[in-house]
């Protein structure tokens, strides 16, 4: 019995050490993207992080960037002309990533950003799949999104420069 307890304790210790090491690697990875501007801790004990430039361009749903090559179909409905909606269908890979992210973050807020500007903030009530609707968009946002998701990456960069903040 003692031998089994000893083995269980050793296995538990190994699991705890592996978890701790993983957390340290993640912390180091996060700090590689962050700046320490004052030589000490920042407000709230969090460093100031550098946001990758690509976050300012394109469609982002939470931390996931949706590019034209991720989109299988995009359809616009102007039933209410002042508030069009877009129905978006993603390819298998993008759909899987979005579904996994939203499943893991049920009950949390989710920002939908276009060219760095939040156009919609919602609370995740259920996992999103490969098809979803962005309702009640501003006409300009619907125009930009429809064009962006129907174009290639080179055109997206040009559009972002023309429609950024």
What are the structure tokens assigned to 89, written together?
């269908």
Cα–Cα distances in Å, from 110 out to 40, 61, 64, 87? 31, 7, 11, 18
**Tokens read off for 21:** 């090491």
> What pLDDT is attached to residue 45?
56
Domain boundaries, the chain: 1-48, 59-159
**Contact between residue 145 and residue 114 where contact means Cβ atoms under 8 Å apart:** yes
Cα separation, 22 vs 53, whole angstroms: 27
Query: Residue 129 in contact with residue 43, Cβ under 8 Å?
Result: no
The architecture that CATH gives domain 59-159 is 2-Layer Sandwich (3.30)
Element (H, E) at 47: none
pTM: 0.57
Per-10-residue mean pLDDT, the chain, length 165: 80 87 72 54 54 68 89 89 89 91 91 89 90 90 89 47 43
């Amino acid at each position: 019995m003692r031998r089994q307890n000893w083995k269980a304790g050793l296995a538990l210790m190994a699991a705890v050490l592996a978890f701790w090491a993983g957390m340290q690697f993640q912390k180091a990875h996060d700090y590689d993207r962050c700046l320490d501007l004052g030589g000490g801790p920042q407000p709230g004990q969090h460093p100031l992080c550098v946001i990758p430039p690509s976050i300012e361009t394109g469609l982002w749903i939470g931390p996931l960037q949706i590019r034209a090559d991720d989109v299988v179909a995009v359809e616009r409905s102007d039933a209410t002309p002042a508030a069009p909606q877009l129905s978006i269908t993603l390819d298998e890979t993008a759909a899987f990533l979005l579904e996994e992210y939203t499943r893991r973050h049920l009950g949390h807020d989710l920002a939908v950003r276009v060219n760095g500007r939040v156009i919609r903030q919602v609370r995740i009530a259920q996992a999103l799949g490969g098809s979803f609707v962005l309702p009640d968009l501003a006409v300009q946002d619907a125009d930009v999104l429809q064009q962006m998701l129907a174009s290639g990456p080179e055109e997206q960069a040009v559009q972002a420069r023309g429609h950024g903040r």
